Structure 1
Amino acid sequence: MSSADNNPITLSELAGLVRELVDQALGKQSFWVIADVANHNQKNGRHYFDLIEKDAAGIAIIAKLPTRAWAEGAQKISAFKTVTGQAFTTGLKVLSLVSISYNPVYGLQLTLLDVDPNFTLGVLEKQRKDTLLRLVAENPELVRLQDGFYVTFNQGLPLPKVIQRIAVISSTVSAGLEDFQHTLDNNGFGYRFEADIYYSYVQGETNAQSIVDQFITIYKSGISYDAVVLIRGGGSQTDLLIFEQYGIARAIARFPIPVLTGIGHQKNETIADLMAHTALKTPTKVAEYLVAHNRAFADELLSLEKSILIKTQQLLARHHHLLSARKFEISMICETYLNHHKRRLQDKSQGITRLGQSLLMAQQHRLRLLSSGITGRAQLVLYGHERDLMQQRTAIIQQVKGCLEDLGTSLARYQSELELISPERLLNRGFALIKKGGKIISRGDQLAQGNEIAIILADREIKATVDEIKNYDGREVNL
C-alpha cells in the first residue's frame, strides 16, 4: 500500500485531534491530585512546575506532568503560604485541584486551580511523627520519650564551665553566620572564642547527608571542641525541612560533644532542635548564650573571691584576737613567775636577817654570862675576849652581808633570765614563733611539706607553706 493511499494529515491536524479528544473527555472536569512539586519557578506572578509521583522507594519517577498556575491558582498558592507558613516550592507534597488541557506546541498540561494547605500540613506532621517514632524505636540507647519530652544522649553531656573552642556548621554564604561571629567577636566582656567553620548545605532535604558528613568530620578531627553549633539564618518552614531528617537528628542525638542549634525559626521546633543539647531561635541567640554561659562562670568566680575575702578577714580577726589573748596570758604568767620568785627572795632575805640578829643576841647573851661569871680575870683577858668578840661580830656581819649580796645577785640573775625568755625580747632578737593550725610548733617533726604555717615576728605575722624539711644541728646560728 502506498503512502498516498493512507490519506496523510499534517502534524497540527493530528495535534488538533488530540486536543479535541482531551477537551471532549476531560476538558470540563477537574481533579484533586496528590503529587510532589518539582522544578518550581515563578515569573511575573505565575508559577511553572512539574507534578510528579515517585515509586514506593521514593527514588524513581513513575508519573510526571507539567503544571502551571495563573491568576486564580497563583492567589491560592499565596493563601497556601499564609496558612502553612511555608513556601510553595520544589520537594513539597501537595493535594491540588487541577484541570487538564492539551496544547499542540507544549503538549499535555495541568492548570492548578486550588491547593489544600491542610493536606500538606498533615503530611509534614505525619512525616515528623514517623521520624520521631523511628528515632525512639531504632535508637533506644540514644533517644527516649519521657513525660512528653525527648531525652537524648547529647542532652546528658555536661557543658564545660568555660566554652572557648567551638565547631560551627553553616552554609558558605550566610547572614546568620555573620551575625553569629559578630556577636561573639564584639561581646561586652572581652571574651575570646575560637570558632572553626565547617561549611555545609543547610537547605533541601536531599542535602541532609552534607550536614551528617560534617558531624563525622568534626568527630574525626581529634580536636577537643567544647561545643558544636549548627546554625542557619532563617527561612520558610519548607526551607527548614532538612532539619526534620532522620539522619541529622540521629547524628545530633548520638554526638559526644554538646550540640547547640540556632536554625533561625521563630515558631515550631525542628526535630534537630529536639535532639540537640540546647536549642535556640537564631544564630545570634546562640552567640549570646555562649557569652552568657561564660559570664555566669565569671560571676561565680567573683562570688567565690568575695566569699574567700570575707572568710579571710574573719579568720584574721579571730586569730588576731587569739594572739592578743595569748600575749596577755604570757604576760600574766611571766609577771606571776617574777612576783613568786621575788617573794621567795624577800622571805630568804628576811630569814637571813633574823638569823643574824638571833646569832648576835645569842653571842651577846653569852658574853654577858661570861662577863658576870669572870670577876677576877685580868683586864688583858677581858680585852682579849672583847677583841675576839669584835672579830666574831665582824665575821658574822661580813657573812650576813655576803649572804645578802649572794641573794641579791641570784635575784638579779633570775630577773635577767626571765627578761631573756620573755616573748617580746625573743621576738625582738630575731627569733620567731611558728604556728600550725593555730598552735605553736616546737619540734620539726610536727611539720610536713605542704603544711600552711604562720610565722610570728616582732612586728609581723607571715603566712607561708612548708616547701622543704631537713635536719639541723644548730651549729650555724649566728646571733
Structure 2
Amino acid sequence: MVPESQQLGLFDLMQHLRRLVSLNLPQPLWLRAEIAQLKKNRSIYYLNLIEQEEQRPKAKAKALLYASSRHRISKKLGDTFWSIMREGQEVLIKVQAHFSEQYGFSLEILDLDASFSIGQLELGRLNNLKRLEQEHLIELNKGLELPHLPQRIAIISSKEAAGLQDFLEQLNANSQRYAFRTELFQAAMQGQQMQKEIREQIREIEEQEDRFDCVVLIRGGGAKLDLYGFNDYELCRDLAQCSLPVLTGIGHDIDESLADLVAHTALKTPTAVADFLVHQLFLAEQQLALLQQELRTSVQGHIRREELRLEQLHSRLRLSSQERLRLAQKQLEHFDKQLELLSPDKAWKRGFAQLSNEEGQIIHSWTDLQDGQRLRLALKDGSKWIRINIEAIEDETEG
C-alpha cells in the first residue's frame, strides 16, 4: 500500500493546478480558435473551442461569455458580433484563464477582434473563388436560357424572412397584372445549417425541375458578415450546377457574394428580383406585340403585292386582247381584199368565163371535155347552155 504521506487528495491536486494557472497565466491573453459548439442562455454563453490540424482536433477547451462582457462587446461591434458568434467560425478572442477545484479549467471571454474573423472569412472567400474559377463554374449557370415567360418560380428562403414577403408582394402586386405561380422551399438563411439546408432544397427542386422555370434564392438584409455564408464552396458549386437558372436577391447593395457570382442573374434585393421577373414578362409581351405587328404588316404587304400583280396581269390581258382583235381585224381586211379580187364579177370584167358540165362541175382542162357534150357557159352578163364540137375547135386551132 502506498504510504499516506505520498497520497494526494483530489481537492489538493485541483488547488495546486489552480495556483499553477493563476501563477503562469495571470493576465488576459489573445487566443485563436474555432467555435465548435455554442449554447446560449440569458446570462451566459457556453462555448466549446477547438483547434484542428488536417481536419482532426488538436486541442479543445471550454469558454464562457458572461452577460456583462457580451453586452459590452455587442454594443461595440453591433450586428457584426452576432455574425461572428456562431458555430464553425474562427475567432480571435481575449480570454482570462481560470481553474476551479469543482469545475476544472475554463476560459472567460473578455473581448473579440472582429477584424481577424473578417480577414479569415475574406481569405476563405478568395480561396473558394479561385477554386470555382479553376473548375469553370462561374459561367456555368449563366449558360442556361431563362424562359421568355418565367412564371413558375421555386423560391429558396426562410418563411420568416422579411425579404420573402417583400418579394411576394412586389411580384403579385405588379401593375401589369401578370400571374405567377410560386412555391417555397424552406431553408435557413443564416447560421450553421444554412448551407446544408439550401443545398438540400436545390436537390429537391431539381427532382421536379419540369414544374419550374427558375430558382430564386432570396433573404432579407442582416449583418454584412452573414453574407459570407453564401461564399461556401459546396453551396456555390451546387448553385452553379443547378439544372434551372438561379436568380439571387441576397439583400446587400454593395458586397457581392460568390453565390451571386455563380448565379444566372444576381440582383441586390428580393424586390429587385421581383421587378426583374415582371420586366421579363413585359418584354415578352412587347416582343409578341411587335411580332404581331410585323406579321400584320407582312400579310398586308403580301396582299398588296398580289393585288398589284393581278392588276398588272389584268392590264396585260386587256392589252393582249386588244392586240389580238387588232390583228384579227387586219386579217379580215386582208381576206376581204383577197375575196374581192377573187370574186367572179372581177374575173368576168377582166374577160374570164366559167364553163361547167351538167353536174355543176367546173371544167378545168381539155381532158374534161367530150365531143357533143352539153356545157353551161357563164359570162359577165349571163349564162347559156352550149354544145361543143371538138373537131371544129381542133380545126380552128390548127387553122
TM-score w.r.t. length of structure 1: 0.61
Q: Deviations over 1:180-215 (max 9, x none)?
A: 222222223332222222222222133422221112
Alignment partner of 1:322 is 2:348: no
Q: Deviations over 1:299-356 (max 9, x none)?
A: 2222222223333333333332222222111101101111211222233234434535
1:162-201 matches, within 5 Å, as: 162-201=149-188
Alignment partner of 1:304 is 2:302: no
1:358 corresponds in structure 2 to 346
Instruction: Please report how far the alpha carbon of residue 176 of structure 1 lies from its aligned counterpart in structure 2 after TM superposition.
Output: 1.9
Paired AA for residue 112 in structure 2: V
Instruction: Please report how far the alpha carbon of residue 125 of structure 1 lies from its aligned counterpart in structure 2 after TM superposition.
Output: 0.8
Verify the 8 A CA contact 1:47 1:70 in the aligned structure 2.
no
2:64 corresponds in structure 1 to 66
Alpha-carbon distance in structure 2 between the residues aligned to 1:266 and 1:59: 38
Alignment partner of 1:339 is 2:337: no
1:32-431 matches, within 5 Å, as: 32-36=30-34, 39=38, 48=45, 50=47, 52-56=49-53, 57=55, 62-68=60-66, 70=68, 74-81=71-78, 87-91=83-87, 92-100=89-97, 112-136=109-133, 140=135, 143=137, 150-151=138-139, 153-221=140-208, 223-354=210-341, 355=343, 357-359=345-347, 361-362=349-350
Verify the 8 A CA contact 2:213 2:244 in the aligned structure 1.
yes
Verify the 8 A CA contact 1:86 1:237 in the aligned structure 2.
no
Alignment CA distance shift 1:365-1:245 (3 Å): closer
Verify the 8 A CA contact 1:36 1:93 in the aligned structure 2.
yes
Alpha-carbon distance in structure 2 between the residues aligned to 1:62 and 1:98: 15
Alpha-carbon distance in structure 2 between the residues aligned to 1:70 and 1:17: 30
Alignment CA distance shift 1:266-1:290 (3 Å): same
Alpha-carbon distance in structure 2 between the residues aligned to 1:294 and 1:40: 48
Alignment CA distance shift 1:119-1:282 (3 Å): same
Alignment CA distance shift 1:86-1:69 (3 Å): closer
Instruction: Please report how far the alpha carbon of residue 228 of structure 1 lies from its aligned counterpart in structure 2 after TM superposition.
Output: 1.6
Paired AA for residue 34 in structure 1: R
Q: Which has the higher contact order (CA 8 A, sep 6+)?
A: 2
TM-score w.r.t. length of structure 2: 0.72
Q: What SS is found at the alignment partner of 1:268?
A: coil
1:442 corresponds in structure 2 to none
Alpha-carbon distance in structure 2 between the residues aligned to 1:229 and 1:85: 29
Alignment CA distance shift 1:389-1:365 (3 Å): closer
Q: What SS is found at the alignment partner of 2:174?
A: coil
Verify the 8 A CA contact 2:62 2:106 in the aligned structure 1.
no
Alignment CA distance shift 1:48-1:205 (3 Å): closer
Alignment CA distance shift 1:160-1:174 (3 Å): same
Q: Deviations over 1:18-69 (max 9, x none)?
A: 9888766645x221122345647697xx985547224433779711121236
Verify the 8 A CA contact 1:35 1:51 in the aligned structure 2.
no
Paired AA for residue 154 in structure 2: A
Paired AA for residue 158 in structure 1: E
1:453 corresponds in structure 2 to none
Alpha-carbon distance in structure 1 between the residues aligned to 2:58 and 2:283: 54
Alpha-carbon distance in structure 1 between the residues aligned to 2:270 and 2:67: 36
Alpha-carbon distance in structure 2 between the residues aligned to 1:58 and 1:198: 34
Q: Which runs of 5 or more residues in structure 1 are unaligned?
A: 1-10, 144-149, 367-384, 394-479
Alpha-carbon distance in structure 1 between the residues aligned to 2:65 and 2:261: 37
Alignment CA distance shift 1:356-1:222 (3 Å): same
Alignment CA distance shift 1:119-1:97 (3 Å): same
Root mean square deviation, CA, Å: 4.0
Alignment CA distance shift 1:307-1:159 (3 Å): same
Q: Which runs of 5 or more residues in structure 2 are unaligned?
A: 1-10, 355-375, 385-399
